Amino acid sequence: MKFETCEIDTSKSKIDAGLLLMDAGVKAETDALYEAVKHIIPYDEWVAHAPYIAAINRMKHEKDAVILAHNYMTADIFNCIADFRGDSLALAREAQKVPQQVIVQCGVNFMAETSKILCPEKTVLIPSLEAGCSLAASITGADVALIKQKYPGLPVVTYVNTTADVKAESDICCTSSNAMQVVEHIAKEWGVKSVIMIPDEYLARNVAAQTNIKIIAWKGACEVHERFESKDIDEIREAYPGVVVLAHPECPNDVVRASDFTGSTGAMIDYVKNKKPKKVVLITECSMSDNVAIQNPDVEFIRPCNLCPHMKQISLKAIYECLRDLKHEIVLPPEMIKKARKSVDAMLNLPKMPANIYKVSNKIPADFELVS
């Protein structure tokens, strides 16, 4: 099995904690927060985190800032400083509504760009410039322009895990939570039987396996989810009889087929909350299990997972410095924002639907093509 062990290195923040120290005031401010995470974060680590948590929570108010945190953030960030938490779609919807002038995006760069596209008048900050995404890096706006030349008359559905220039060349965005709905909607609106869906080949295959629309896809992949294999699931089932397997649709087709349920990070969280399986494994990024376990203490979590090196660039220290110095600001050309906004809005304006659930059958989709 190729999973990493679920040990997130906190030594960096321990060393950094030399700058901010635990004292009686910090303890009083953070004791109640520790209650939520005490089963995940040992107290000797908490002593390093607490001064940052207290300082960030104070600064948020002073700077009129809101923290939007993706479900993959570590437990300290997710549970102790975030104002809103969710999957990519939920965070985009929240960005539109927040009254604060400053948005601190605790996630990766494409998420911060999406917030900037939706709130161009606001200051949108990302705590680390290293927080990229292998999917976003797999395609450029120029690539999309060439694809459109090759397949004239077909709409371009673009996963939000892309840069703003890619969104600017697209017709509509999607997330893992609404991909099927978006594909079927746009095909109907354009009166076509094929759509271009970029850049995640696996997500595209997982959609293609259950729609009659032909999907023309790009060969991008999430470096975290593509590493899962169906034999990993067989091994988990053998080792933990009765375990319920939930997977993200960025996983390969056969992994989705071997799982009991596939949906966005938000859909996986809802599944655990509503169905309360006795034993569950989340086939996704490591920190999700910690965060979902905190909310569901009666569920047993099996913890093989893969780390997203980009998400893990976001640390308490980076967030503290980001707020203190109001860095790193997302700046996009106004013309690009205008064009990208059209494709993000086209998605957000669709009627709200329950999150997509990917039920992949054994049928290999006949109507699938990779752009060469």
Binding site for ligand SF4 (CB under 6 A): 108, 133-135, 161, 222-224, 250, 285, 308, 310-311
Helices and strands counted in the chain (H then E):
16, 13
Residue from 206, 262, 264, 356 in contact with ligand 13P (CB under 6 A): 264
Of 288, 237, 291, the C-alpha closest to 259 is 237
Nearest distance from residue 230's CB to ligand 13P, in Å? 19
Nearest distance from residue 69's CB to ligand 13P, in Å? 11
Which among 148-156, 171-179, 233-241, 323-331 is the span making contact with ligand 13P, rule CB under 6 A?
Answer: 171-179
Q: Which residue has the tokens 């948590």?
A: 53
Fill in the per-residue mask, 85 to 124: x = in contact with ligand 13P (CB under 6 A), - = not in contact: --xx------------------------------------
Site for ligand 13P in 186-215 (CB under 6 A): none
Question: Strands 172-174 and 194-198: what pairing?
Answer: unpaired
Distance CA 78, CA 1 (A): 28
Alpha carbon separation from 170 to 159, 191, 342, 359, 372 (Å, rounded): 10, 17, 9, 27, 19
- From the list ligand SF4, ligand 13P, none, which binds 115 (C-beta under 5 to 8 Å, kind-based)? none
Show the DSSP H helices in the chain as ranges: 11-16, 24-37, 43-62, 75-80, 88-97, 109-118, 141-150, 164-168, 179-190, 201-208, 230-239, 253-258, 265-275, 286-295, 316-325, 334-348
Q: Which residues of 162-197 are buried (b: 16+ CB within 10 A; e: fewer)?
A: bbbbbbbbbbbbbbbbbbbbbbebbbeeeeeebbbb
By the rule CB under 6 A, 287 interacts with ligand 13P: no
Residue from 74, 109, 162, 175 in contact with ligand 13P (CB under 6 A): 175
Q: 34 or 72: whose CB is closer to ligand SF4?
A: 72
By the rule CB under 6 A, 126 interacts with ligand 13P: no
By the rule CB under 6 A, 262 interacts with ligand 13P: no
Fill in the per-residue mask, 232 to 261: x = in contact with ligand 13P (CB under 6 A), - = not in contact: ----------------x-x-----------
Q: Tell me the chain's radius of gyration from C-alpha atoms.
A: 21
Q: 165 or 250: whose CB is closer to ligand 13P?
A: 250
The conformational region for residue 200 under phi > 0 = left, psi -120 to 50 = alpha, else beta, is beta
- From the list ligand 13P, ligand SF4, none, which binds 265 (C-beta under 5 to 8 Å, kind-based)? ligand 13P
How many beta carbons lie within 10 A of that of residue 158, not counting itself?
28
Residue from 71, 105, 306, 343 in contact with ligand 13P (CB under 6 A): 71
Which among 169-177, 202-210, 316-324, 364-372 is the span making contact with ligand 13P, rule CB under 6 A?
Answer: 169-177
Q: 48 or 125: whose CB is closer to ligand SF4?
A: 125
Q: How many residues bind ligand 13P (CB under 6 A)?
A: 12
Give helix 109-118 / helix 334-348 axis angle, nearest 10°.
90
Site for ligand 13P, rule CB under 6 A: 71, 87-88, 161, 175-177, 222, 248, 250, 264-265
